[in-house]
Amino acid sequence: MYELAKEISSLRQKGILIIGSGNMVHNLRLVAWGIENEHYVSDWATEANEKIKSHILSGEHQN
């Protein structure tokens, strides 16, 4: 996805906006759908999300 984003980045100069939705980490098969009004996140998802966020904020985009 990162490589694709670099390829289409020139569209910005043409006034084209691309909007995506989603998250870096998810596994819909493991969602606890029956839990309402509670915050439930798997440990692996939290760990992966923090690692990705760290790389983005530090500018380490190749890792």
Q: What is the pLDDT of residues 5-60, one digit of tens each?
A: 889 999 999 999 888 766 677 777 777 777 766 667 778 888 988 998 898 899 88
| Contacts for 50 with CB less than 8 Å, ≥ 6 apart | none
Domain assignment of residue 11, given as a range? 2-58
Q: What is the pLDDT of residue 13?
A: 92
Task: Give domain status of residue 14, yes or no.
Answer: yes
CA distance 24 to 12: 23
DSSP string covering 15-46: T--------SS--GGG--TT--SS----HHHH
Q: What is the pLDDT of residue 14?
A: 94
Structure tokens at 31: 């969602």
Whether the per-residue pLDDT at 2 is higher than 80: the answer is: no
Task: Give domain status of residue 63, yes or no.
Answer: no
Q: How many domains does the chain have?
A: 1
Task: Give domain status of residue 31, yes or no.
Answer: yes
Task: Give domain status of residue 25, yes or no.
Answer: yes
